[in-house]
Amino acid sequence: MAEIDPLEITPEHVYLSRRRFLTGVGATVASIVLFGGCDGPEPAPPSDDWCQSAQVGADTDELGDPLTPCEDIISYNNFYEFTTDKQKVALLAQDFRTSPWNVEVGGLVRKPRTVSMDELLQRYPQEERIYRLRCVEAWSMVIPWLGFPLASLLEDVEPTGKARYVRFETLYDPEQMPGQKNRTYDWPYVEGLRLDEAMHKLTILATGIYGRPLLPQDGAPIRLVVPWKYGFKSIKSVVRIDLVEEMPVSLWMATARHEYGFYGNVNPDIPHPRWSQSSERRIGELRRRPTLPLNGYADEVAHLYEGMDPKELF
């Protein structure tokens, strides 16, 4: 395949999606209703253009750390379904079809249902959440997400008394996602949470960043975000959510159980078998900074793990 510099090409659909977004846009993130009416975002290649209409309600997270530039969030990605090369995900994912898109919610629930992106955006108001994202590889970002609490969706399907975990699945479509032809991994990408983690108010399903619908490289049209866990837990482009009785086996557990546990809680004191987790490189900064227990969210979530051995929680 010929290499094309994504910054040199400006296909028509970029202009179209920008125009649509700019028409009648309000000054705040409330403008999110704009894409409540369409069925997911237009895919666009990585470009500085896309970020020009970024909108955000604050410049820092609650710790005073600046937001990671929009350009970095859309051009440095982990999404192994496309490629393991972080700087090439955006290009390989640019034509990923994110519309129409349905999410099936089932398993141990009284009201299983298949919901379209349209319905999700109409039913659950989108809010801005500025969260730190700490990758297990020891880089991090501060990302202004748009999304809604996963709890709202789970409450609507009414989990039965037997449900103890939530299992999430990414789309499986090797024609669109060339990385899925790599049989090193057991596709589709699967992740899981304990039910109380899934119901926690910090756990969201994200549909946008910087006031705009997600681009494919960031997990369009809908992905999980669990800010106190390593980034691999925040599964992208979700098509299935099942309430289950047994602890799900994630793709990473199946690939390297001794390196990636079920919990994936950020803990500076528990090194990865191959590197330290005590500090991290914040994208855009020169100096490393210390990694915070539970990624800085300990006050909100430490109670979920009372009495558990931290070694179980890696």
Ligand X SMILES: Nc1nc2c(c(=O)[nH]1)N[C@H]1C(S)=C(S)[C@@H](COP(=O)(O)O)O[C@H]1N2
Contact residues for ligand X, defined by CB under 6 A = 77-81, 133, 135, 170, 189, 218-219, 231-232, 234-237
Residue among 180, 144, 168 nearest 68 (CA): 144
Binder of residue 107, out of ligand X, Mo ion, none (CB less than 5 to 8 A by kind): none
Residue among 148, 197, 152, 192 nearest 300 (CA): 197
Binder of residue 235, out of Mo ion, ligand X, none (CB less than 5 to 8 A by kind): ligand X
**Hey, which residues between 75 and 104 contact Mo ion (CB under 5 A)?**
78
Q: Which is nearer to ligand X, 108 or 205 (CB)?
A: 205
Percent helix, strand, coil in the chain, to 5, is 25, 25, 50
Inter-residue contact 166 to 200 (CB < 8 Å): no
DSSP 36-78: GSSSSPPP--S-HHHHHT---S-SB-TTSPBPPPHHHHTTS--
Give the residue nearest to ligand X (CB). Answer: 231
Binder of residue 79, out of ligand X, Mo ion, none (CB less than 5 to 8 A by kind): ligand X
Q: Which is nearer to ligand X, 25 or 268 (CB)?
A: 268
Q: Which is nearer to Mo ion, 213 or 231 (CB)?
A: 231
Min CB(151)–Mo ion separation in Å: 24
Question: Bridge partners of 180?
Answer: none
Supply 114's token pair.
């298949």
Q: Which is nearer to Mo ion, 136 or 220 (CB)?
A: 136
Q: Which is nearer to ligand X, 149 or 208 (CB)?
A: 208
d(CA 281, CA 21): 33
Q: Which is nearer to Mo ion, 232 or 262 (CB)?
A: 232
d(CA 256, CA 58): 39
The site string for Mo ion over 49-68 (x = CB under 5 A, - otherwise) reads --------------------
Binder of residue 218, out of ligand X, Mo ion, none (CB less than 5 to 8 A by kind): ligand X
Min CB(172)–ligand X separation in Å: 10
Residues in the chain: 314
135 sits near Mo ion (criterion: CB under 5 A): yes
Min CB(232)–Mo ion separation in Å: 5
Binder of residue 105, out of ligand X, Mo ion, none (CB less than 5 to 8 A by kind): none
Supply 42's token pair.
């237009």
Helices (H) and strands (E) in the chain, counts: 9, 12
Min CB(79)–ligand X separation in Å: 5
